Amino acid sequence: MIAQFHWSEADYVSAQKVWLRRHPWAHLRGYWFPVAVAALSVAIVVFKPEAGLRGLMGIALALLLFGFSALMTRWRWHRHFKRTPLWHDQVTAKVDQHGVNLHSQSYGIHHSWGECSDIYEAAGVIVFEMANQSFVFLPKRDMSFAQLLDLRNTILTHARVQPQLASETA
């Protein structure tokens, strides 16, 4: 399967969200402070009911911090996408029996099937995750139905891991 596309910020954000859903501990590690404040506040409410108002204020503070942290994560993704010129190139993706190849005017990436530790599909992207927790993704929005079927069949035929793909009609 060969496809050409430009990555969009929505593709990048979608891939990041899918990766975080599959690695919740990495996500929680980024929110350690709000989680610690929430745990402490819940402990205050449970073990010291007379200080319940303070505990509830702590829970509200933790929720506020969690929301702020989520906004900061999204902002970091936005900045990274805008500042990295690689995301703005025309990309040619080739997925065949050898692996995943991405080429543009400023870079070339090859990942063999043996490097892929997980392959999964979300609403807008197909993610190829490597053993070192890095990943590459292909946006589905620019693929025809035939290209998407060919890509899924190539993955099912050659991948060394059990991919989690959508049905052929999705």
Instruction: Report the C-alpha gap between 19 and 13 in whole angstroms.
Output: 10
pLDDT at 63 over 90: no
For residue 169, what are its two tokens?
A: 């009609």
Closest CA to 27 of 74, 59, 83: 74
Helices (H), the chain: 9-22, 24-30, 32-47, 52-83, 145-158
pLDDT tens by residue, 68-91: 988 998 999 999 999 887 788 899
Beta bridge partners of 93: 3, 102
The answer to whether 18 touches 125, Cβ cutoff 8 Å, is yes
Name the CA radius of gyration of the chain, rounded.
21
99 falls in which pLDDT band (50, 70, 90)? very high
More reliable by pLDDT, 4 or 169: 4
170 falls in which pLDDT band (50, 70, 90)? very low
Which pLDDT belongs to residue 168?
A: 53
Which pLDDT belongs to residue 86?
A: 74
pLDDT at 111 over 90: yes
